[in-house]
């Protein structure tokens, strides 16, 4: 994982997944975020974590993590903006 700012913000599911896979950089980043300003994720990231669970034990771990995390809703305007960005940039950047 590339170095990144520790400024507060919305944490993407990629970092969360890396942390569950015990990647040291991701775990350290989340630890710093929790200590500084707390962890904030979108409801989409929360659902992605839930969808990735392979059994009841993993689901319980995700639920416990989300209980200590600010899970933020997505408004209609944010959804429209995100969709527009995907349409405008996905093919040119491939991500």
Within-domain flag for 17: yes
User: What's residue 67's pLDDT?
Assistant: 94
User: What's residue 28's pLDDT?
Assistant: 95
Mean pLDDT in residue range 12-31? 92
- Can you give the residue range of the structural domain that contains 72? 13-93
Within-domain flag for 7: no
Report the number of distinct structural domains present in the chain. Answer: 1
* Predicted confidence band of residue 20 (pLDDT cuts 50, 70, 90): confident
Within-domain flag for 2: no
Residue 73 confidence (pLDDT) above 60: yes
Within-domain flag for 65: yes
Residue 6 confidence (pLDDT) above 60: no
8-42 burial, b for 16+ CB within 10 Å, e for fewer? eeebebebbebbbeeeeebeebbeebeeeeebebb
pLDDT in tens, 25-48: 999 999 999 898 889 999 989 999
Burial class, 80, CB count within 10 angstroms (exposed 0-12 / middle 13-18 / buried 19+): exposed
């Amino acid at each position: 994982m590339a170095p990144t700012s520790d400024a507060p913000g919305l944490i993407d599911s990629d970092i969360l997944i890396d942390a569950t896979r015990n990647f040291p950089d991701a775990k350290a980043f989340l630890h710093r975020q929790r200590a500084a300003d707390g962890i904030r994720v979108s409801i989409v990231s929360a659902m992605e974590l839930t969808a990735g669970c392979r059994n009841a034990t993993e689901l319980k771990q995700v639920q416990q993590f989300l209980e200590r995390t600010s899970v933020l809703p997505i408004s209609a305007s944010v959804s429209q903006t995100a969709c527009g960005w995907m349409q405008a940039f996905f093919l040119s950047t491939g991500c």
